[in-house]
Amino acid sequence: MKVHNKVLVVTGGGSGMGRELVLHLLSKGAKVIAIDINEKALQEMVVKAMDAKSPLCTFVVDITNKAAVEKLLHDALACFGYLDGIINNAGIIQPFVKVADLGYETIERVMNVNFYGTVYMVKTFLPHLLTRPEAHIVNISSMGGFLPVPGQTIYGASKAAVKLFTEGLHSELANTNVKVTVVFPGAINTNITKNSGLDTPRQASAENGSVKILSPVKAAQKIIEGIENNLYRVLVGNDAKMMDIFYRFNPGSAAKMIAGKMKGLLSN
């Protein structure tokens, strides 16, 4: 689906990769509805989008709240009258600790934002998308959604759930006008650690390795290219591409390698 003149909703659109998705869509002539739980981030994004010729609407929404997501559908339709796609980008990580040291409140928060928030958006918006001549759903999983990362086990489980949820949707909607894409970003230079309520030194430690960190601008471009080419899956970053091949070829060795790299981030 070409995004020019289409209306797309982007969750987590106030900062990081979400903000760049919004800005890139606007630059390509799409109409965008950006949502975020952080009102300040949305306001800052609006300032960056001031020169865009395409229209932009913003809403402060907690995607873990079903009623708020259902209200969002009505508010979004009030902006432009119709919708052509959603990009479920909003997500958080967990503290870099083992499952044994992770509280249930944190576990539930990660699952609620990453998985249930995505489910609520799809369930709410899909009936309308099915009425459009063409439409697209993009769900952002993660390299951690197909490869185990110690210290991010619950995050990985949430993103693995997004992966299979999206692939199932793709099969269910194969004979409809709604295309579906699952995205697996590798290491992207975003502020997800801060947005997850975690301390930044651990993020810095994670990023001091040998892996080249991809800019959110380039990540957004690759994701939108995936939409415009109706791709089944999009691997964002050379690390994601490499580990996708490695894990499929030898999952045990791939998991062992990642465990070795993450060892220094875990407290014990």
- Distant-in-sequence contacts of 239-246, Cβ < 8 A, 24+ apart: 239/143, 239/186, 239/187, 239/211, 239/212, 240/143, 240/184, 240/185, 240/186, 241/186, 243/143, 243/147, 243/186, 244/143, 244/146, 244/184
Residue 49, helix vs strand vs coil: coil
The answer to whether the beta carbons of residues 91 and 144 sit under 8 Å apart is no
Give the integer Cα–Cα distance in Å for 33 and 219: 19
232 is a catalytic site residue: no
Determine which one of 82, 104, 120, 155 is catalytic. 155
**Could you tell me the sign of the dihedral formed by the alpha carbons of 121, 126, 131, 137, in that order?**
positive
The answer to whether the beta carbons of residues 34 and 13 sit under 8 Å apart is yes
Tokens of 96: 């870099």
> Residue 179, Cα to own-chain centre: how many angstroms?
17
> Residue 233, Cα to own-chain centre: how many angstroms?
13
Sheet holding 233-236, edge to edge: 56-60, 31-36, 7-11, 85-88, 135-140, 178-185, 233-236
Q: Which residues are catalytic?
A: 155
